[in-house]
Structure 1
Amino acid sequence: MASSNRLFNKGFLSLTFAQFFGAVNDNILKGVLSFAVASGGLWAGQLGKGGQGYVGLCLTIPFILFSGFAGQFADRTSKRHITVIVKIAEIFITLVAFAGFFLGNLWITLLAMLLLAVQSSFFGPAKYGMIPELVDSKQLSQANGSINMFTNLAVIAGTLAAGPIYTLYSPEPGSDSSALLWVPGAALVMTAILGLLVALPIPKLSAMDPDLKINWNPFSVYWSALKEMANSHLLLVATAWASFYMIGMLAILILPDYRDLLQVSPTKASVLLGILGISIGVGSVSAGLISGKHIEPRLIPLGAVGMTLFFTLLGLTPLKFGLVAALLAGAGIFAGFYIVPLQALLQHLSPDDERGRFLGTANALSFVASSIGSLVFLLARSRFQMDSNHVFLICAGLAFIGSGFLIWRLKPVITDSSLRGK
């Protein structure tokens, strides 16, 4: 084990920035694609009403299919080695995206989105499984709060960049500007190169289970891990963690439509996504600071109640930019309170030699939930003709019903004083 008593040691900082640049790329590509297929976009109508739901599915389905393999590889191989390989792969994938945007081909660009999601699915278990190998167990809450903060800063950077990048790629009607077809691809390739460079200083880490025989049926891997997780509170923790991603996917798919709802530019609409990312980051860091050197599960119900309240208000209040921005900020802060202790519990409760498989399975659950979120969005918009802002009421209902049930079942963990070091 290479864990350090210092939170911001070289290895953890390298991992944090490698995650940062990966998340920036995910959000640039997803953001530009979402603007292109949303109402009023360059490719509007090619995927039907609410087409950004299909973009969401391109992001989530690979995680479901490949997280089982990824978790096994994370146990069998050095997590540092996996990180470097996926960062090299990211450069080649962004070259595919470059070609798609330059040629104006939606399908090549969606293929790049799929490939980037496959790459990210292999990084996920290695990334989260590496944290306990790089920092002391007493620093897990602060480490997760910090990496969540940087991830959400990356979401901000990626989503804020997506608006101007899309405008340069597809100028507004009546504009004198010429379309710069190379801009999205160039941004993606440069960010991928930076991600590889910052990953290289991660120290060498030993494989936790080098003799593990790979099971090539991912669903049997999931089933085996779920049965083991069910013997403790891990399964409920993983399910509560996954529910956050279903709600989050709905929120992310709703926001590009605010371009039409508020009659604003793509750049200003991307500011709303940035505000959500900033506030989740603030909530995550605050949760880490409140937890100190322990895990604070009592933040989970507080986060769930806060998300329910603010999503309800987003679905009911008038469509004014400042009001929407303020309510998104409130929802994001409470989302950070909800997710950080759950993430720390997943890492803390997973045994060392099975952490990769358990986190891979939890990852798969979260993306099953995200896929359900994409399908719910598609149904709400195309089948039930709901206005996008009213879909926030579905977010609120899911936060209230799903999280309420899970928190009730997780009461022994939430009230466990040993996790708080008392």
Structure 2
Amino acid sequence: MKEPSDKLFNAGFLGLMVAQFFGAMNDNLLKVILAFAVVRGVWEGRLGDGGEGIVSVCFTLPFLLLSGFAGQIADRYSKRTVTLWVKIAEIPIALLAGIGFYFENLYLALLALVALTCQSSFFGPAKYGMIPELVSDKNLSRANGSINMMTNIAVILGTVIAGSASVRYHGAEDVARVAWLPGALFVGTAILGFVASLLITRLQPGQRDLNINYNPFVIYVDTIKKMGRTRLLTVMMAWGYFYLLAGLALSTLFRYPEVLSVGDDEASVLMGVLGIAIGLGCAIAGFISGDRIEPRLTTIGAAGLVIFFFLLAAVPPWMPDARPMIRVALSNVAFFIFFAGFFAGFYIIPLQALLQKLSPDDERGQFLGTANAVSFAFMTVAGLLYWAVMSTPAFNNRPQRMFYVSSGLMLAGSLFFLWKLRGTGILIGSKPNDQPDG
């Protein structure tokens, strides 16, 4: 089998980064444009109050059900081949979504969203599993930092484009309606992602004789038992736990138009600030790590999240006298959100690199697929917890107080994971050639 390249930005890894960029952008384009259409667009009221929640379920459920199966596929076949399959499949799915929007057929658009999410769930284990095959161990942290930075840029760009496309799709007094625009964006982005995937270096398949188990929950239980024999289970739970906090934070930010007394478009600046900060934090964490995996950065990231989540809840919002967009961008809220996002990058990059490094070569897809499913399970818990907490009087009129909950959970979780990992050596840094404890 060909050895991974010692060069970080080799042709294969660059192809993967660009393919991932367009994949993340397309996921976000479809999800955001569809959510806008359901909330206050052509399908307003069709799914009842809170209809955007159904869109979110359509987006997350396939990851929970298919990640384990997808991990097995990534282990059995070449991860490059799996990527090519899913990128080819993305093109007709994007076309289906475009047809749904053009003919204003909500259920066709929802079907396309589910199909696109299914496609993405197969891409996940192959994408993260091939990184150790494309770059050497010493570049794992830098590679993860770079690909996470590009993913966040794609999400930000996708959100901006989706907002503009939604205005043109629905039309307005001074804007002509362009019914074909969403479909053109979906298909064009899918084609660019497929072309980028052709640049990925040819990779060897894994277990050619692997028997596929079609029950995802059996896969998850079996994989978790294997992880439980090493420190990898704690690493995975610490990584997944982050998505509980991320889910709470994102849901809270959607309530910030009422906190800041601004419009939805002005408040969306905060989402952009968060995305930029996470991407920057991921990139810097990767390059600080250098030739090592540095779990100590996770501890620093957790401390930063505890502090800035607390400040978001405790400090009254302040904005300068300026135009609405500028006021939001220069507010203390944006400042705190930026540093929360920045430290989030520090938290996740070492854990992600450890998941890839410590997973067995012949089962890496299954291990990463299970980790992916766990992260979406935590996001589901976040949604239920957010609903339960926000329904209480103390939080309903002060949504920013949810950040007290986030800060407390981050503090409790980080102390627990530090205690679980005591004595393993993982907390003082991990060289690329370290072996997992038995």
Establish whether TM, by shorter chain, passes 0.5. Answer: yes
Cα distance in 2 for partners of 1:379, 1:183 equals: 38
Q: Quote the residue 1:415 is aligned against.
A: 427
Q: Quote the residue 1:286 is aligned against.
A: 284
User: Which structure has the larger Rg over C-alpha atoms?
Assistant: 2
Instruction: After superposition, give the CA deviation of every residue in 1:310-334 in whole Å (9 maximum; x if it has no partner).
Output: 2233334327423332222111100
Instruction: After superposition, give the CA deviation of every residue in 1:356-404 in whole Å (9 maximum; x if it has no partner).
Output: 1111111111111122223333444567772544433333333222233
1:53 Cα deviation (Å)? 3.5
From the superposition, tell whether residues 203 and 140 of structure 1 become closer, same or farther in structure 2 (CA, over 3 Å): same
Is the contact between residue 243 and residue 403 of structure 1 (CA under 8 Å) also seen in structure 2?
no
From the superposition, tell whether residues 14 and 350 of structure 1 become closer, same or farther in structure 2 (CA, over 3 Å): same
Structure 1 residue 18 corresponds to structure 2 residue 19: yes
From the superposition, tell whether residues 138 and 15 of structure 1 become closer, same or farther in structure 2 (CA, over 3 Å): same
Cα distance in 2 for partners of 1:302, 1:107 equals: 45
- For 2:53, the aligned partner's letter is G
**Residue of 330, 340, 343 corresponding to 1:331:** 340
Is the contact between residue 273 and residue 337 of structure 2 (CA under 8 Å) also seen in structure 1?
yes
Instruction: After superposition, give the CA deviation of every residue in 1:241-277 in whole Å (9 maximum; x if it has no partner).
Output: 1111222233333434445554555544433222211
**Identity across the alignment (%):** 52
From the superposition, tell whether residues 314 and 143 of structure 1 become closer, same or farther in structure 2 (CA, over 3 Å): same
Is the contact between residue 60 and residue 117 of structure 2 (CA under 8 Å) also seen in structure 1?
yes
Is the contact between residue 159 and residue 271 of structure 1 (CA under 8 Å) also seen in structure 2?
no
Q: CA RMSD in A?
A: 2.4
Q: Quote the residue 2:325 is aligned against.
A: none
SS in 2 for 1:419: coil
Q: Quote the residue 2:188 is aligned against.
A: 190
- For 1:333, the aligned partner's letter is F
Q: Quote the residue 1:142 is aligned against.
A: 142
Is the contact between residue 301 and residue 344 of structure 2 (CA under 8 Å) also seen in structure 1?
yes
From the superposition, tell whether residues 266 and 403 of structure 1 become closer, same or farther in structure 2 (CA, over 3 Å): same
Aligned pairs (5 A) from 1:301-320 = 301-316=299-314, 317-318=316-317, 320=319
From the superposition, tell whether residues 392 and 101 of structure 1 become closer, same or farther in structure 2 (CA, over 3 Å): farther
Is the contact between residue 159 and residue 273 of structure 1 (CA under 8 Å) also seen in structure 2?
no
**Residue of 399, 402, 415 corresponding to 1:391:** 402
From the superposition, tell whether residues 236 and 101 of structure 1 become closer, same or farther in structure 2 (CA, over 3 Å): same
Which structure 2 residue ranges, 5 or more long, are not aligned? 320-327
**Residue of 174, 177, 180 corresponding to 2:178:** 180
Cα distance in 2 for partners of 1:327, 1:169 equals: 34
SS in 2 for 1:180: coil
Is the contact between residue 15 and residue 202 of structure 1 (CA under 8 Å) also seen in structure 2?
yes
Is the contact between residue 75 and residue 362 of structure 2 (CA under 8 Å) also seen in structure 1?
yes
Aligned pairs (5 A) from 1:79-158 = 79-158=79-158
Which structure 1 residue ranges, 5 or more long, are not aligned? none
From the superposition, tell whether residues 269 and 105 of structure 1 become closer, same or farther in structure 2 (CA, over 3 Å): farther
1:305 Cα deviation (Å)? 1.7
Given the two structures, how large is their TM-score scaled by the length of structure 2? Answer: 0.88
Q: Quote the residue 1:161 is aligned against.
A: 161
- For 1:329, the aligned partner's letter is F
Q: How many residues align?
A: 419
Given the two structures, how large is their TM-score scaled by the length of structure 1? Answer: 0.91
